Chain A
Amino acid sequence: MEIFNYSFIILLLPMLMFVTLGLCGHKMSHRTAGMLGTSGLFIITVLAYIVAAQYFTMPRIDGVFATVTPYNFTWLQFTESLIIKLGILLDPISVMMLVVITTVSLMVHIYSLGYMHGETGFQRYYAFLSLFTFSMLGLVVATNIFQMYIFWELVGASSYLLIGFYYTKQSAVAASKKAFIVTRFADLGFLIGILLLSFFTKTFDFETLTNGSVSLIDTAAGKSFLGISAASWAMALIFMGGAGKSAMFPLHIWLPDAMEGPTPVSALIHAATMVVAGVYLVARLFPVYVIQTPDVLMFITVIGAITALYAAIVACVQTDIKRVLAFSTISQIAFMIVALGVCTSMELDHEGHGGLGYMASMFHLFTHAMFKALLFLGAGAIIHAVHSNEMSAMGGLRKYMPITHITFLIACLAIAGIPPFSGFFSKDEILAAAFDKSAFWGIWMSLVAGLTAFYMFRLYFNIFWGKEAHHEHTPHEAPKTMTIPLLFLAVVTCFAGFIPFGNFVTPTGLSYDIHLNWTVAGTSIAIAIIGIALATWLYMKPNDKPTRMADSMRSLHTWAYHRFYFDEIYLFVTHKIIFRYICAPIAWFDRHIIDGTMNLMATATQWASYHIRGLQSGRLQSYAVVFLFGALLVAFIVLCCM
């Protein structure tokens, strides 16, 4: 569609920013680099909004927003059918993601002007932010699964770079490696899944895959492995990639450590955008999942539900505020995953609600990106003020940081699911979808929602109320560059819930009017209020109730505090089993057999050359003699032959 011809600028500009800042950044002052990056992103944001406005005002065709591909050129053609294309695909979810990514990214850019002020590597930081924005935008507008995979790896790489931004800090380096390795491991599954899927369907294209023209079930019929059909394997492995990026159990271990990066980075990458890539992936391939492999969807639900509960429990006892937020992120993403998982069909209208979860998931993705970014940026402001991540160093900050306090409270209310804040609407839809599937999932997710309210308000009270900690110097409100993004996001958080989301994003594309199911909504509000009340009772005033409560559930508390020892399990498996029994013998083989062969060749060459080096004496006269005899020999042979 020609009206979207300018859309390539959205991808090109951040790339150019990255190249410019990366190559020439060190020549610029901090201010120039920051302003350059931010203004570039501002242009992209405006463009993304124009795209969204144009896209959603286009006339619907049969009540559906048409899928638009302004660009799709062949990049690599290996064979007749194995073609890799690069392009831009605009449909309701990718346009929505464009808006989310550019908004949050812009806020983070502005915020970082204040937060990263005076840091060494400021220009590098902005270069990496641009690289990340570029990769993430490329990921969401991918026209085919292979392009998505390319950008998928790129976001992984930029995430690695940003987590390890303070590369002189040992823990940051370790965290970036951990994030990279864990997501890479998951991406291995993703790649195998892509190959399986495209092997059977003969296409990478999302459109071909999702419009029902090829059927994975038919093409992969009869093929199975370990009793599970090849189609399910393919889709499950693709989900594995998504689970790695979205920190789903049991691949969640990298996300809490990823908080070693600068806080705005955590807000952008590890809360709002990159970690929802897994959700986006499942949503992208949603028709394939829901129609052809419902068994995998069931599996996804289970994974999501376990993750949601696990992360919520762990979040209740962590003391590092960024880690609480990290686990909260895991839990909230698991909400979206569950919402996708509980879908039973594509239908979403007043007769059938099988596809409600899809809409709810996307809605929650949208609202969560806003309020979680707000929470992280608020946390950044707090850390900026008290120079510590630990709750014990905070307390009673509401007097010193009024703006941060208010915005943080709004975000907490939103995530807890209190109307009229945005989180309530989206979470309510998710719960409704879960109840639609079965009461079991509904109750499970409601429980998690209650826990969410509890741990968020535990965090809130511990930071802004409670016992005032001793401060080296009085905490002060963050500078304007930091509070403006906070206020903006707070406004969005207040009103995003009223967006008629069902008009834009539904599985079939047909418009759907969201109507609150008051039984579910009432339950969820009640649960949230119980959670908040419990947190208020425990943490608002300094007292010993939390300690007593922890004592009464000593073992659970310890286990949760240590995140149920998952890192230890991983360490055990990798170090004690894989390294010792697989890697060590391989290393031995490598060192002694492979290297040995090479060394032998080298030694033999050295020995031989040592012994024949006399031939190359440098004495011209001996060369002359040899040459002469050679010439004579040739002459002699010629004579003999004649």
Chain B
Amino acid sequence: MEIPMIYYVVVSTIMFFAGVYGFVTRKNLLAILISLELMLNAVDINFVVFNRYLFPGQLEGFFFTLFAVAIAAAETAIAIAIIINIYRNIKNIKVDNLDKMKY
């Protein structure tokens, strides 16, 4: 027994809430997307760690992570496409300026 499982989990928790902080505070759409990636990554770590430590004979967490990575890639690609489109229309990518439908 080398590194207790809880260490990994604590690290991923910190990473996740760093992502939350960024998601709530940042104005730049790309920065928000970066925060989102952090959160996703933290979850991936949790899957892998639980898989390794609690069910080493199976691969559920492994495949979840694998698919999550694929989905994250797809999601990022689409999100960036949207962001670039927004940039084209309003010449910047700050959330505050996306107020066409806002009060």
Contact = CB atoms under 8 A, between A and B. Distances in A.
Q: Do chains A and B touch in the complex (CB under 8 A)?
A: yes
Interface of A: 613-614, 616-621, 624-625, 628
8 contacts: A614-B103, A616-B103, A617-B103, A618-B99, A618-B102, A620-B95, A621-B32, A625-B24
Contacts of A618: 99, 101-103
B72 interface: no
B102 A621 contact: no
Given A618-B101, A620-B95, A621-B23, 5 more contacts: A617-B102, A619-B102, A621-B24, A624-B23, A628-B24
Contact of B103 (A613, A621, A625): A613
The bracket for how many chain B residues form the interface is 10 to 19
A621 B95 contact: yes
A617 B99 CA distance: 10
B64 to A, nearest CB: 21
Contacts of A625: 24
Contact of B20 (A614, A617, A628): A628
A613 B25 CA distance: 22
Nearest to A628: B20
Nearest to B25: A621
Interface string B23-51: 11100000010000000000000000000
A618 B101 CA distance: 7
Contacts of A620: 95
Interface string B83-103: 000000000000100010111
A4 B23 CA distance: 84
B100 to A, nearest CB: 9
The 3 closest A-B pairs by CB, nearest first: A618-B102, A625-B24, A621-B24
Contacts of A613: 103
A9 B44 CA distance: 79
A614 to B, nearest CB: 7
A628 B16 CA distance: 13
Contacts of B101: 618
A80 to B, nearest CB: 61
Nearest to B26: A621
Contacts of B103: 613-614, 616-618
A630 to B, nearest CB: 14
Contacts of B99: 618
B60 to A, nearest CB: 24
A624 B36 CA distance: 12
Contacts of A616: 103
Contacts of A628: 20, 24
B101 to A, nearest CB: 6
A27 B101 CA distance: 47
A307 B43 CA distance: 97
A616 B102 CA distance: 9
Interface string B3-36: 0000000000000000010011100000010000
A61 B58 CA distance: 99
A470 to B, nearest CB: 76
Most chain B C-beta atoms within 10 Å of own C-beta, residue among A616, A621, A628: A621
Contacts of A619: 95, 102
B86 to A, nearest CB: 13
A629 to B, nearest CB: 11
Contacts of B24: 621, 624-625, 628
Contacts of B102: 617-619
A279 B20 CA distance: 88
Most chain A C-beta atoms within 10 Å of own C-beta, residue among B99, B102, B103: B103
A477 to B, nearest CB: 75
A620 B20 CA distance: 13
B44 to A, nearest CB: 20
B94 to A, nearest CB: 12
A617 to B, nearest CB: 6
Nearest to B23: A624
Contacts of B25: 621
Nearest to B27: A621
B17 to A, nearest CB: 10
A614 B95 CA distance: 17
A621 B25 CA distance: 8
Contacts of B32: 621
